[in-house]
Each structure stands twice: as structure tokens, then as C-alpha cells.
Chain A
Amino acid sequence: MSNVKNTIFDRPANSSTNANYRKTTEEDSQGWLEQFDKFWFSPVAPNTISLIRLLTGCLIFYITLCYSFELLAFVGPDGIVNQALADHFRKDTPMYVMAPEWTENTIEITKTNLSWSVFYHVTNPYWIWVFHLGFLTANLCMALGLFSRTSTIISWIGALAYVHRAPSGLFGMDAMIIILLFYMIIAPGGEIYSLDHYFQKLRRKKAGDPKWNEPPKPLVLSNFVTRMIQIHFCIIYFAAATSKLQGSSWWNGTALWGVLANYSFNPMHISVYTSLLVFLTKHKVLWEIIMTTGCIYTIVLESSFPFLVWNRNLKWIMISGSIMLHTGIGLLMGLTTFSLCMITLVLAFVPPEFIKILIDRYGMGPFRRSSV
């Protein structure tokens, strides 16, 4: 098993062949084009992509719900970014690029950008709330898997409506949830772990179909979207790692302190957390070991993940390392939803068989295969 040869087109998300190591020799003998074709277009069970849809639905529902506390401050005409300023940003903000000459000159290419949002045009608070509740309903349907594709597309439109209209309140989490939603509008996310699937089984059972309880068949589209999420995740990690390497604090091991002792991000108002930091600062060697190890862990994980996750033997180490990193970020830095988005993205590397076994064993209600 240890001498198994892997290629970049190894199949971490693939279905039944994934665990079948004996097939590897056969795969190695295939041409580059065939492997490329298999990498993108071999059918895969939709369990992984459906679980991602479910989690994305829950996350976007929570994110949209959180706008409710001060909805008009974010998307109202007299909000933090008022109507006039929002229009200015999208219609009258010059954008420059460097000229194609050996000079410092720049060229203005446009004053407009392609931001779009229903909240640019709906300024009556009543109708703003109507749209907000409409988007919330779509998010809920997406999470439940009810009219999955329609609700996913409306959820994506809704998420972009807030993001474009309220640019001042955005952070990394918004970028991640939009990535998830973007891929979910292509994905067949309602094929399983959804009310759509549940009702479909119910109809088939009532119609006397003997195959009513068969699991959904593998789909090319599941694999295609899973691959896109995987590659996007690798780009995110690689960009995050290489940009960190530009900073001296990531090299001398002090960057983690800048993250952990940032009063505005961390739970430093909780005495246990602060006591722990004080304890560390009173033990310099321990402090240095923990801070340096944390920096090395972050950089090594982020920079190696895009390469090592494709290796069968290292895949689970990479996935576990990533989940640990984001759990830490979620717990220590208060960026819980951001971390959940990242963990949802990394789920794309988990084979559908694994998810199937996990949910068949521990799932509840309509998520269990024999639930009808």
C-alpha cells in the first residue's frame, strides 16, 4: 500500500473506486487525457455535495438572519453607507491601471463597476423587509433542501444583494459564503439529505416502485462541482500562505501573538482567556514555543495543503489539520461563522462514501436512508 503511486489527478472525492487501491495500477497505465477526463467527469455519488448544500443553507440562513438586528443600518437608504454614497461607489469611482509603457502613468479605464443589488433600488423600509424575509425563506428552503435549485439560486442572489449594497460591513466570511453559494447554484445539491429527496422517495414508494429506497445515482455534475471547490480551496490556502510569508512576524514567530492578543477580535474580556495569555507571557520559553509552533503550523499547513491533499496517504492528515486550524480560529478569534464556512469548503475533500456511512449511522429524520 505504501508504494502506491499517486498523481495530481488522484481522486480524493471519487466514489466507489476511491478505496479500491488495486485499481491504481490500472489508472497509472491510463493516458494523461484519460486521467484528466476522469478527474473532472467521472460520476460521483452526491452525498458530499448535498451535505455541503445543507451546511451552506444553514450558514446563509444564519448570516442573513443576523442582518435582521440592524437591517436598515446596512441596506437602508440612510444606513452606514447611505444611498448617495452607494450610488457613487458603483457609478462614479474611477479605476486606474498602469499604462503599457515604461512610465509611472496610469490610465483611467472606467468609473462604474458591475455591483448589483435589489437594495440599491428598494428604499422603502417596508419593501426592504419584504425582500429580506423573502431571502430568509429561500435560505431556509435551501437548508431543508426544498425546491433546492430554485432556493439556492435565490439565496445566492440574496447574499449578493447584501454584499454589494453594504460593502462596509464585509469580512472574510462573506467571501467564503459567496464562494460556497456560487458552486451550489451549479451543483445537484438537493439529490440527497433534502426534503426534495424525501418527498421523491415517498412518491415512488406510494407508486409501488420497488427501487424507491435506492440511493441516488452517481452524477458527473457532483464530481465537477466538487473538483471546482477543491481547486478553489487550494488557491485560497496557497494565497493565504504566500501572502503571510511576506511578513516578518510570520517568520520570527510573533504573528500569532498579534492574532491572539488582539482585544477587538479575541475573547480577552473573558478572564480565563486573559489569564492564559498572562501565564504564557510569564513563561517566555513556553510562549516562544507555542507562538512559533502556531506560526509554523499555519504556514506549513496552508502552503502544503494544495499539494499534499491529493495524496491518498496524507489526505486525512491535511483535512484534519485544516479542521483543527479553523476550529481554533473559530474558538479563539470569535470568527465562528467564517470558520464554519472554511470547514464546509474543506468537506469537498471528504469522499461521499464516508459521508454516507456517517449519516446512515448517525443521521436523523429524513436524512436517514430508510426514513420513509
Chain B
Amino acid sequence: MNLLVKPTHWAATAIALTLLAFGFNTLFPDFVILRANLLVFGFIIGLSGFSIACAQRLHGKTSDGTLALTTFGLSLSLLITTNSMDASWDSLILASSVFTAVSFFVGIFVLLPLLAKKTTAICFVLFHFASIITAVTSIEPPNAPASWLATNLWAYYFRHYLTFAYLNNAYHFYSPEPGPPVLLWSKIQYEDGTFRWFKIPNRTESPIQMHYQRMLSVTESTNVASSHSPENWEEKLQRRNLAGLANQPQITPLNRSMSQSYMFKEPADYSKRMLASYALYLTKKFAHPSDKPNINIDNIKIYRVTHSIITPTDMSRGESALDPTLYYPYFMGSFDKNGNLIDPNDAFLYFLLPITRNANPNEPSVLNHSLNIHAGDVKIVPEKEGSNP
């Protein structure tokens, strides 16, 4: 019989390779790449042995005992793998430990009598779907807290399983309402006074639709709102309006009659960190102007822009979905070349910079583009998507 079709030989080879890696870890811990390669190949060979044993068992060509033995062999090689990794590879140690336990359990499962196998399988089904149902129901409904029972069951019993296998989705697609998309517009300012705009998502710059969709998700990750009301709201609003009036040209003041959540959108801690990381990413991506390698970045201004969905009434009147007044920009801060927020007390930080038209129909249409004024751009009317606003 061909040695390669004997799954136990594969399992033994996997154990040998991982033992070798373990030896290297003990004697020559600096040979990291060699050790990592041994562990990867050991894992693949162990897994192949298990797969061959499964296929042979399904076709009745081997016994439960051989399948169990191969699975225990895989489990042993994974146990050795777990103990052959650097402490800094913590997430892989975690994964390897889980795989060790799962493969050990599968080995025992194979040896169980039929009724016990069926009972165990149904227990797994119950656990699996109970965990998925808690993921679905532990989301807060509009204007109310989430179910106490679901959140506690999720947090204490199911979270680990769901997070590990990324089955944690609540499947609330386009609900409760389909919302407007969020865009990120960044002005990268160089030391010599030149600048460039970088906007995501951007159909013209994304090589494929999938990339575009991922960029759209990146913008959403900066859109998690803070659950806390801003402190000294009146004072903040006054500072913002005074700063706007002091600016040349003036930036439209915000009317107190507007709702606070419309005028001011402070991101949650998660989104603040995402913005800082995104700013740092931009400093690496656009470190210098394309033709001046010696010039560095001075600062990056980031605006989170909500692109309102055009109403059917406006569309029937011939208005465009790209009309500038449908964009609601919020200033997310100015970041230095290390991705740090330059001024956390900036008067405009997290405030709306409205883009409006004059209301009088008898006068020529003039666009009051607070974003361009704030960014220090000379242009007044935004251009098409993909170019400078």
C-alpha cells in the first residue's frame, strides 16, 4: 500500500516536524523563520492526514480507530505547535490551543457509539444556533436598550465562540432605515504650501468594485457616534460661531434652532482611533508631493461627509444627486505627520461646515461652501467626484 495513503504516517510526520520546531525553539530560539516554516508545514501535513482519514472513513476504507488515531496525532502536533511559538504570537497560540482542543474532541467523537454521536451533534447544533440568536438579539433596537438576557448570554457564554469564528453578525441589513453613505475627504497639506485632496470611496481610483466597497466600509468605521453629550454645549457652539465669523471669508454660523446632533457629531473612541490611524496611513501613502521628494507633510485635515440621498421631489425637478448642498461635512480634526490630533480644542472640531445656497430666488445662485473656506481652498464650487471639492 502506498505510504502516502496511510493517514497515520502523515500524522507522525506532522508530529516529527513540530517536535523539530520545538527543539529549535528550545535550543536556537533566534531561528524564527525556520521554526515558523516547520510549524506551518507540520500543520498542513497533519491536516492532510486528517483529511485523508476522513475521506477514507466516508468511503468505508478505514476504521473509526484509524481516523481517531490520526485526529489525536493532529491534536498532539497542534499541542506541540502551541508550545513552540514565541509569546508574542499570542493570537496564533490562542488559535492553536483551540484547534488542539477541537481536534482532540473530534478524536473522541469518532469513537463514540452512534446514539452518543447523534446526541453530541445535536448539542453542537443547539449551542451554535443559540449563540447566533444571541448575536442577532443583543443589538439595541431604536431608542431602547438591548435585551438584558441576550446581551448577558452573549457576553458570558457565546462571545468567545462567535468572535473566534466571526459569526457575530446581527444581519440587520438596511435597517431600521437605509441611511446615507459617509465619505472621508482629506486635505494633505505639504510644508511648501502645496496640497492634495484624497477622497474615499472613489470609483475612479478603486481598481475594482470590491475595493470600492471596502473603502466605503472604512468610512463607516469612522461613523460610530459618541454616546455622551458634549460638555459646555452652549460655550462650544458660541466658540464655533465666533471662529466662523472671525474667519476670512466667513464660515456660516450654525443656528441654535438646529438640533445638536445635526450640528455636532463627535465620534466614539473607536472612530477617533480609526481616524488617527487613517491619518497616519495617509502620511505614509502621500509622504511627499509627487515631484518633490524632499518636502514633507505639514498637516492633514480630515472631513467626514454625509452624502444625503436626493429626495424624489428634487430629482423630479431635475436636481442632481451630486448637488453640493446634499453634502454635510463635519471637521474631524487636523493631524500631524505622526497621526496625532494637532488641536483637540479646535473651535470647529466635530462641527458641521454647511454647504448652502442663498435662499433668495431673485438673486443669482451663490454657493456658500464652508468646507472649502475652512480647508483654505481657493475654489468655491465643488467639482465632480474624484477631483478636488
Contact = CB atoms under 8 A, between A and B. Distances in A.
Interface of A: 37, 40-41, 62-63, 66, 69-70, 73-74, 78-82, 84-85, 88, 90, 93, 95, 97-98, 100, 109, 113-118, 120-121, 147-150, 153-154, 157, 160, 163-164, 167-175, 178-179, 182, 188, 190-191, 196, 219, 221, 224, 228, 231-232, 235-236, 239-240, 243-244, 246-250, 255, 257-259, 261-265, 268-269, 274, 277-278, 280-282, 284, 287, 334-337
B208 A82 contact: no
B186 to A, nearest CB: 12
A85 B271 CA distance: 11
B316 A281 contact: yes
A240 B315 CA distance: 29
Contacts of B95: 116, 157
A81 B171 contact: no
B47 A265 contact: no
Contact of A147 (B48, B94, B170, B201): B48
Contact of A179 (B44, B167, B211, B316): B167
Nearest to B135: A239
Contacts of A240: 171-173, 175
Nearest to A149: B51
Contacts of A224: 121
Nearest to A237: B171
Given A78-B280, A114-B160, A117-B91, 17 more contacts: A37-B118, A73-B285, A81-B277, A82-B280, A84-B277, A98-B148, A98-B151, A118-B92, A168-B217, A179-B167, A196-B55, A244-B174, A255-B174, A257-B312, A258-B179, A262-B309, A337-B210
Chain B at the A interface: SS class: helix
Contacts of B217: 168-171
B264 to A, nearest CB: 23
Residue of B121, B210, B284 contacting most chain A CB atoms (<10 Å): B210
Top 10 nearest A-B pairs (CB, nearest first) are A247-B176, A258-B178, A264-B181, A149-B51, A169-B214, A243-B175, A281-B316, A116-B91, A243-B172, A175-B169
A262 B141 CA distance: 24
Nearest to A168: B221
Interface residues of B, number: 89
A235 B151 contact: no
A262 B201 CA distance: 13
B210 A63 contact: yes
B22 to A, nearest CB: 18
Contact of B176 (A157, A167, A173, A246): A246
Contact of B175 (A114, A244, A337): A244
A68 to B, nearest CB: 10
Given A219-B58, A235-B133, A258 B121 contact: no
Contacts of A78: 280-281, 284
A31 to B, nearest CB: 15
A121 B178 CA distance: 37
A37 B310 CA distance: 54
Nearest to A177: B166
B199 to A, nearest CB: 11
Contacts of B213: 171, 173, 334-335
Given A171-B213, A281-B315, A182 B165 contact: yes
A358 B133 CA distance: 35
B342 to A, nearest CB: 18
16 contacts: A37-B118, A81-B274, A85-B277, A93-B270, A116-B92, A149-B50, A169-B218, A175-B167, A188-B55, A235-B129, A240-B171, A248-B176, A257-B312, A264-B201, A264-B216, A284-B312
B152 interface: yes
Given A109-B155, A109-B156, A261-B310, A98 B145 contact: yes
A82 B277 contact: yes
A27 to B, nearest CB: 19
A259 B310 contact: no
Nearest to A196: B55
A90 B91 contact: yes
A90 B159 CA distance: 13
